Structure 1
Amino acid sequence: MLSPNQDEHAHSKDPVKYGELVILGYNGSLPGGDRGRKKSRFALYRRAKANGVRPSTVHILTNPQDSKAVNSKGHHSISFTLSRNQTVVVEYCHDPDTDMFQIGRSTESPIDFVVTDTTGGSKETEDSSVSPSTISRFACRVVCQRHPPYTARIYAAGFDSSKNIFLGEKATKWKNPDGHMDGLTTNGVLVMHPEGFPDDSKQGAWREISVCGDVYTLRETRSGPVRGQLAQGESSALQDGSLVDLCGATLLWRTAEGLLRAPTLRHLDALRLELNAGRPQCPVGLNTLAFPSLPRSHSLEERQPWVYLTCGHVHGRHDWGQRPERHREEGGGGEDGGGAGVGGNRECPLCRSVGPYVPLWLGSEPALYVDAGAPTHTFTPCGHVCSERTARYWAETPLPHGTHAFRPTCPFCSTPLAPAPGFSRLIFQGPVD
């Protein structure tokens, strides 16, 4: 067996990759492009020098000035304010066996991965009774073991520029039976671990993660004052396919091993070329259709395939079959080229079914696929195309929305899906010659 030093040397030329966090809703890149620490996906590699920390000394303080003295020592610490006259400060010391990565809305240096609210395609259909959610400036931290099996664990809250996590008087906090303090962040960090991902995936239950990494059932509402029940035997260890929700953005964790089995962008493009090589045609204009190259463009192309979502018949863009205004769906939106607008109801020329008529876009974020199958299905109503198993998996995965709701959304653009099944099978017409 390799000693830790030999293990370091063996991996010095090829850094160990723990995994990647991918934000749902961006289909491969942020709208303005990935820049620095603000991007649609974040790869976690073993650091040249460990930066993990672990709890050490506990101080019970009765004077707020004492708290400042403890925090100014340069150590990481978590402060639990119990009352105006009592604060428990847990000091953390260096842990040579772990690497820590921090995620949040803040652009300050302690944050490794800057994440902002994902509006997705839900702006127009936002339920007015659901208050808008925000991501904490220092939302959470992922701590990875530097040695096999490289376990990654999620914790609520991140250390700020003063190396402190501060839970004020109003924050939900408590003392555990073993005496150690713990608490929850205002809007909470939720996690869902699927079973058998990606081969035979089954959704797990959504849970809340505490500041110290324990797992609890959900509160009554997202920021409710009473914590849920301790989920006995459940772990904060991330597994391939785990989802992390920060109340405003949902992240998918893919392990390094899982990514090796996932399709690549090159594979997805090969499937696109194979589909285009079949020369699908518009039954109305008889012109050949073709999916644009990956990653998806944000503007419609002349040969872009369109679909009648009710029946799945694929056409080119045309003006046939528009319904009178009174038959249109209310709040349908326009054809904005983003795939989210449904532009009212249309009648399919082939089968006379009536429903939304939208452009098709290939899902081009490989990490969101559960298999490498052909792009045969589209999410409804956004028009993002992927394999049947991938469409089925995400359509059956309710994601947190607002303070207490859950609903399936398209993983590529975050548009809320239509009622079950939430996707349609595509029916292409081949060339007539």
Structure 2
Amino acid sequence: MGSELSIEGLKPASSSGSIDRRGLEEEFDSADRQSMKYGELIIIGYNGSLPTHHRTCQQSKYILRKHDHPNGVKYSKHYVVTSPSKSKAFLDKRKYSIIFTKSKNQATIVEYQTDEQTDMFQVGRSTKTSNDFVVHNVIRGDFTPSQLSCRILVDRTYPHLARVYAAGFDSSKNIFLGEEATKWENSILICHPRGSYFGGEAKPGQWCEVSLGGRILSFHPSVLIKRKKIHSDMNVLQDGSLIDICGATLLWRSAESLKKSPTKEDLEKLVDNLNEKKPICPVEFTTLVFPKETSTGVNCYPNRKQQPYVYLNCGHVQGLNMWSLQTGSLSYMCLLCRSVGPVVKLRMGMEPAFYVDYGPPTFAFNPCGHMASEKTVKYWVNVPTPYGTNGLDAICPFCATPIVGSRGYVKLIFRNTVD
């Protein structure tokens, strides 16, 4: 029928993959240290931007930068009181405290003091001013408590370790837990990659619970299962760590590793490289055009006939041929190999932080059709992500659509000539 299209990827800036520690330390000690970037938190399920109607108060990612003045806190002391609402720690707006109510007449107060060595960032669903980053829910029609949040403390000195803790302080600098509050209701989940750095040969790890104090517990979907305590240092974020706040999952990318990852301009170049090969629909004989998603998240095609689609059962990329629709179903017959199955419009994955390499976009997620490199797609189809209260599911990082099929992806077969 024709020749298969060859698509080249982009080469990273440093092929060795090693980190120049001396150069990084010099950068961190430069005069521009006040605007130094610690890393990024990216919401899983958005392709580089939020839909237009969400942009007034929310964003798809948040950059953690060094504060002009440290605002971190650390444990000071704890004690038992009979009237927590009348205690000095609760009434003093300058003191950070966590109040655990045991009964109507007794509560434990944990006081925190200023830590000059750390910067604190709070992430949550509420638009209250106490949250630095407001996350938007991507799991539709599920239980998503608006008060849930977490806090991240980052060391101001190199190597700038970032630690995550469940819950965040309110505008009065308090975290108040009533009698009905249980451990699992006030915990968040965390999953670290195993192996080398995120952009190497890392594999997804296991999900764990993180408590208010940063303690790590084993995770089980059932709250009736007693959880075991795990190594205490596992609340330190690694490049590629995932944080879940009951339906909103965040990816942590460190500033060091982002320098070795593709940029948005790199991804746009990959699309340009693909279009320069002039892929065609081998049925209609029209040139297909792979678009870059606009700032509104909408693909722009020159005309309908140039829209590329993929047959998910075989991977052949064609235009949408309506005559291949099977009578009485939503299945289509591929006119190249005659396999019957679903067809989906191809869209480029444009969030750089989700990529693990610079490879060409020769694979697509099933069933959404978001294109990415082979390593990137194969990494994410093996990540079991909390899907609301419905357990763990592998999802497309660009749209949060649950993965389907035995493999969860399809290898794209392009054509650039016709016999």
- So what's the TM-score if we normalise by structure 2? 0.87
Map 1:6-405; keep pairs closer than 5 Å: 10-12=30-32, 15-32=35-52, 35=55, 38-67=58-87, 69-74=88-93, 75-119=95-139, 132-172=142-182, 184=183, 186=185, 188-195=187-194, 196=196, 197-221=198-222, 224=223, 228-232=227-231, 234-295=233-294, 297-299=297-299, 301=301, 302=303, 303-325=306-328, 328=329, 344-403=330-389, 405=391
Whichever residue aligns with residue 58 of structure 2, its letter is: K
The answer to whether the 8 A contact 1:187-1:247 is kept is no
The 1-side partners of 2:256 and 2:158 are apart by 12
Give the stretch that moved more between structures: 279-288 or 25-34.
Answer: 25-34
Q: 1:226 to 1:408 in 2, by over 3 A?
A: closer
1:209 maps to amino acid: V
CA RMSD of aligned residues (A): 2.1
Unaligned 5+ segments in structure 1 are 1-5, 127-131, 173-183, 329-343
Is the CA contact 1:279–1:431 (under 8 Å) kept in the aligned structure 2?
no
Counterpart of 1:377, as a letter, is: F
SS at match of 1:351: coil
| Map of 1:407 onto structure 2 | 393
Q: CA deviation at 1:404?
A: 5.3
Task: Kindly provide the CA deviation profile for residues 77-135 of structure 1, in whole angstroms up to 9, marking residues without a partner as x.
Answer: 0001111111011111111110000011111111000012113xxx5xx8xxxxx2214
Cα pair 1:395 1:420 within 8 Å, conserved = no
Q: Residues 13 and 93 (structure 1 numbering): CA distance in 2 closer, same or farther, change over 3 Å? A: closer
Cα 1:107/1:217, change in 2 over 3 Å: same
CA distance in 1, matches of 2:123, 2:287: 45
**In structure 2, what is the equivalent of residue 429 of structure 1?**
415
User: 2:292–2:300: 8 Å Cα contact kept in structure 1?
Assistant: no
Deviations along 1:202-255, one digit per CA (max 9) or x if unpaired, are 11110000000011001442xx36651101355100000000011111100000
The separation in 2 between residues aligned to 1:404 and 1:212, in whole angstroms, is 27
Q: SS in structure 1 opposite 2:353? A: helix
Change (3 A) 1:81 1:256: same
Q: Is the 8 A contact 2:381 2:394 kept in 1?
A: yes
Aligned-pair CA distance for 1:170: 1.7
Partners of 1:146 and 1:66 lie apart in 2 by 35
Distance (whole Å) between structure 1 residues aligned to residue 33 and residue 171 of structure 2: 32
Asked if 2 retains the 8 angstrom alpha-carbon contact of 1:185 and 1:211, the reply is: no
| One-letter amino acid of the counterpart of residue 199, structure 1 | G
Distance 2:65 2:71 in 1: 12
Corresponding residue of 2:14? none
Distance 2:224 2:103 in 1: 16
Separation of aligned partners in 2, 1:233 and 1:30 = 35
d(CA) in 2 for partners of 1:369, 1:9:
29
Equivalent residues, number: 387
Q: Residues 49 and 137 from structure 1, CA distance in 2 versus in 1: closer, same or farther, beyond 3 angstroms?
A: same
CA distance in structure 2 between the partners assigned to 1:315 and 1:404 by the alignment: 35
CA distance in 1, matches of 2:292, 2:71: 41
2:380 match: secondary structure: helix
Unmatched 5+ residue regions in structure 2?
Answer: 1-25
Identity, % of aligned positions: 44
Q: Deviations over 1:353-403 (max 9, x none)?
A: 011111000000000001010000000000000000001000111111233
Secondary structure of residue in 1 paired with 2:385: strand
Bigger relative contact order (CA 8 A; separation at least 6): 2
Q: TM-score, normalised by structure 1?
A: 0.85
Q: CA deviation at 1:293?
A: 2.5
Contact 2:34 2:67 in 1 (8 A): no
Aligned mates of 2:68, 2:34 — CA distance in 1: 11
Higher deviation after alignment, 400-409 or 156-165: 400-409
Q: 1:280/1:392 Cα in 2 relative to 1: closer, same or farther (>3 Å)? A: same
